[in-house]
Amino acid sequence: MRLKNKVAVVTGGARGLGKAIAQAFLAEGATVVITDINEDSVRQTAEELSAAGTVEGVSMDVSQFDGVQRGMAGIIEKHGRVDILVNNAGITADAQLVKMTEAQFDTVIAVNLKGVFCCTKAVVGSMIEKGYGRIINISSVTAHNGNFGQTNYAATKAGVISMAQTWAKELGKKGVTANAVAPGYTATEMVQKVPEKILDSITAKTPVRRLGMPEEIAAACVYLASDEAAFVNGAVLKVDGGLAL
């Protein structure tokens, strides 16, 4: 088991990609804490996954700095440390630039970009103290290609790559690595809400001619979280079927 005796926090872990990552980490022996803004959802998912290993759910709004500090401090107090942080929590509020409101822009920035800062800031001190840490930011193919109607989302997903690269330089000498995973279109609840005609177009543009599976993205996260990736720092692992080529 590649993550045995490791403590991992997965934000946005109640469903979709975050849930798949949590499942993969549990299968590799990690103790997993999933966070999500919806208290009922995070509790239900934790109960569902409990048969696979040690998992708990914590309700958390990643955009609220003080709340994240308290929540992560509680996790560290209970488990003694956070070895792995997967910054997965994210939302969309799509509109073309000419129609996008300030509220749509600000909400996505607050969760997808500020949230990554808040969560990492809350655990990095403990990682430095222990001399070990793995930070994994979930980006997107949109960070490389942009996407129609997603000014806000694409900006955040490019931003979390730059954050990871900056932290790689700042923290590498302290035993903490930071990397990003940039998925292509993946068969999650969020993507499956996209009209079928658009999904067909996306599939046609993807060299492997299909959507990704959450488990495939999760496998990339397992690798980056493992000791096998100890020399991988500041990297962007594209898992997109070749769409960003």
The pLDDT score that the predictor gives to residue 189 is 79
Q: Mind listing the pLDDT tens digit for each residue in 159-175?
A: 999 999 999 999 999 99
Q: Is residue 95 part of a domain?
A: yes
Q: Is residue 236 in some structural domain?
A: no
CATH number of the CATH domain containing 120 = 3.40.50.720
Q: Which residues of the chain have pLDDT under 70?
A: none
Return the pLDDT at 74: 98
On whether residue 141 sits in a domain, the answer given is yes
Kindly state whether residue 52 falls inside one of the protein's structural domains.
yes
Would you name the residues annotated as active-site residues? Answer: 153
pLDDT of residue 193: 75
Q: How far is CA 64 from CA 104, 113, 116, 226, in A?
A: 17, 12, 11, 29
Measured between alpha carbons, how far is 72 from 122 in angstroms, rounded to an integer? 6
Specify the pLDDT at position 10: 99
Instruction: Give the pLDDT confidence score for residue 188 in this predicted structure.
Output: 87
Domains: count for the chain:
1
| Domain range enclosing 222 | 7-230
Domain membership of residue 238 (yes or no) is no
244 occurs within a structural domain = no
34 in Cβ contact with 42 (< 8 Å): yes
